[in-house]
Structure 1
Amino acid sequence: MTDRRKAVREMELGDHLCLLFDNDEERRSIMAAYVRDGVRAGHKIIYISDAVRAGDVLGWLAGDGRDAVMPEEGAPVDLAEAMEAGHFVVRTAEETFLASGRFEPQESIELMATEIDLALVQGYSGVRVAGEARFSLRRWPGTDQHGDFERMLDQVFMTTDIKAMAICQFDRRWFNAGYLAELESCHMGRVRVNDYYDDGTLRITPIFSPPGVELSGVIDGATGPAAEKVLASISTRTGLLCLDLGGVTGCDDDGLRLLTRADRPDLGPNRGLLLRGVPPGLGERLRSSGLAAAQGVAIEDGPG
């Protein structure tokens, strides 16, 4: 089956993707990257807020001073400065979709098209829209047509040379699974967090529940240094570190040494290491190394 997920840094004008999330840190990491990349690219960013209050969006994207799970890539971006310049705009779902007192899909799409045209006239090279969709569950007049709106919007993105991209955000904790599947089908695919590393042999991707990384591919003498650098950069950010090894297809002795060193008792007594989805052969080698006997270490086998 084709993977319909696209890393946020790989998004292009014309993309209409959805973000299905149940972890707020994952969502924030994706949206912060999306907005920062847009500022760097000379795009107008329109953020439609609902679950996050409009006045809190700027601080939420910046992380309110907390360590970011995904560090900023590229030249630093001052989002407050971008907002002051009109480069980054935050609006509420109510003022965006219910200005007439009722949610009208066709009217909302036409207003969005007008916004995009205006931004292009103003000199922006494109427009990035990010919308929180929880408003559609509030039973405001017309919000029962939200599925129709997503289908119509997807058709616009697929059939026109639109100089815009969009991410529609759906919180799994609010939407039932059946309706969520229907809404997902109205998008070209899903957006996902950026990888820490991908050289075609090994891919390292952040995970959030529990925090850590997913490793897919081969861990060996060639890819080990990059993996070690990633693990060192995230090891101090959390008490529990999870390494999801379900996608590992090969691991030589250098890779094995790297995994056994992921246990870092020097970081404190509350340090924990979870190796999840471990392939059977690799699990036997890890247990033989003595890692499983270390305090705070758990090894969970993947399917045989």
Structure 2
Amino acid sequence: MAADTCRDLLVQDIGRGDHVCLAYDDDAEQRHVLSHYLADGLRQGERVLYFADRNAPDEVLGWLRAVGIDPGPLVSRGQLAVTTADDSYLASGTFDPDTMVAVLRQEVTASLAAGWTGFRVSGEMGWALRGVPGADRLAEYETKVDAVFAEGRSSAICQYDARLFDAGHLHAFDRCHPSAAELRPLYEDAQLRLVPAFRSGRHALRVVGTVDHRSTAPLAAALETLLDRPGDLYVDMAELEFIDLAGVRALAHAADRMAAGRRLHVVHLAPLMAQVVRLVGFDDIPALSVDTAEDPA
């Protein structure tokens, strides 16, 4: 399944039937999402399988201890298994999408037959960059395996480290997933949420709610945080309800501070709001791009 639009899911909302992409560039963010995802499954009586690559299996078990889960008894009774990519995706020395899909389908069936309430799995995908035979078929695998999770008996988070995968790869793999794991907000109150994300494989900021005189400063601070990231920055306004002139000015100021050759793309902005940006002349800033249509990248 190629997802043209990918819905963002809070980690606590990920459950059976979900096939989720996690793109991240911070180890603490990876640990936060995965520790809660794994712990939630274990508490619900699901069988949980983790394929480690950059992290050692003992580190992953440590994530669970940090959120109050003792992994020892769970491993002993077969509810939890943490192995490596070499012993899972690459067990035969090469990567074969059809074989891996069949293995996961068998794991789901066996888990339910053993009395577990469901099955959840997560894998670190950095192994695909090591020149392993068959790694060029990873997108094919992500598309095919979606059918396993769509049956509603299991779920998955596929992890892509944005420090390893380039924007083109991230965009391609994101499109293979119906959902993306939402990262922790940079700011959140009753009116506004500012959520870092990856759009088209590039750093983005989702603006959800209302930006007015009370929330201009948090918007400016969130933009400042993301200015340090490489490449262009996308500000996704699809869930914006209102933005005042001070908020637009914060966007313009951030664009004006972009390093040479970089741009700030305001995407999915309502046409009326985009017209305001143009009327005040902020679209004359070379590093600022305002688009009311689908993200052109």
Select which of 145, 154, 158 maps to 1:164.
154
Contact 2:108 2:154 in 1 (8 A): yes
1:36 is the counterpart of 2:39: yes
1:84 aligns with 2:76: yes
Looking at structure 1, the residues matched to 161 and 72 of structure 2 have their Cα atoms a distance apart, in angstroms, of: 26
1:250–1:9 Cα change, 3 Å: farther
Q: 1:172-205, CA deviations, whole angstroms, 9 ceiling, x for partnerless residues?
A: 1111111221111111121114669988x43557
* Structure 1 residue 139: Cα displacement: 1.4
**Where does the alignment leave 5 or more consecutive residues of structure 1 unmatched?**
64-71, 209-213, 218-246, 263-273, 285-301
Partner of 2:221: 275
Q: Give yes or no for the alignment of 1:175 onto 2:121.
A: no
Q: 1:56 aligns with which of 55, 59, 79?
A: 59
The CA distance in 2 between the partners of 1:25 and 1:14, in whole Å, is 26
- Aligned residue number for residue 23 of structure 1: 26
Residues of 1 paired with 2:74 and 2:194: CA distance? 29
Residues 137 and 143 in structure 1, CA contact (< 8 A), matched pair in contact too: yes
Alignment CA distance shift 1:95-1:195 (3 Å) = same
Residue of structure 2 equivalent to 1:136: 128
- Please identify the structure whose Cα radius of gyration is greater: 1
Normalized against structure 2, the TM-score is what?
Answer: 0.64
Shift of 1:156: 3.7
Task: Specify which of 179, 182, 193 is matched with residue 192 of structure 1.
Answer: 182
Q: Quote the Cα distance in structure 1 between the aligned partners of 2:173 and 2:88.
A: 20
The aligned amino acid for 2:221 is L
Does residue 101 of structure 1 match 2:93? Answer: yes
Aligned residues: 222
Deviates more, 1:123-132 or 1:49-58: 49-58
Match of 2:235 in 1: none
Structure 2 CA distance for partners of 1:198 and 1:22, relative to 1, 3 Å: closer
Change over 3 Å in CA distance of 1:204–1:119 after alignment to 2: same
Go from structure 1 to structure 2 and tell me whether the alpha carbon gap of 1:275 and 1:55 turns closer, same or farther (over 3 Å shift): closer
1:248 counterpart residue number: 211
Question: Does the 8 Å contact 2:22/2:160 carry over to 1?
Answer: yes
Separation of aligned partners in 1, 2:59 and 2:138: 25
Q: Counterpart of 2:83 in structure 1: which amino acid?
A: R
Using a 3 Å threshold, how does the CA distance of structure 1 residues 90 and 276 change in structure 2: closer, same or farther? closer
Q: In the superposition, relative to structure 1, how do residues 77 and 187 fare at CA in structure 2: closer, same or farther (>3 Å)? A: same
Q: TM-score, normalised by structure 1?
A: 0.62
SS in 2 for 1:147: helix
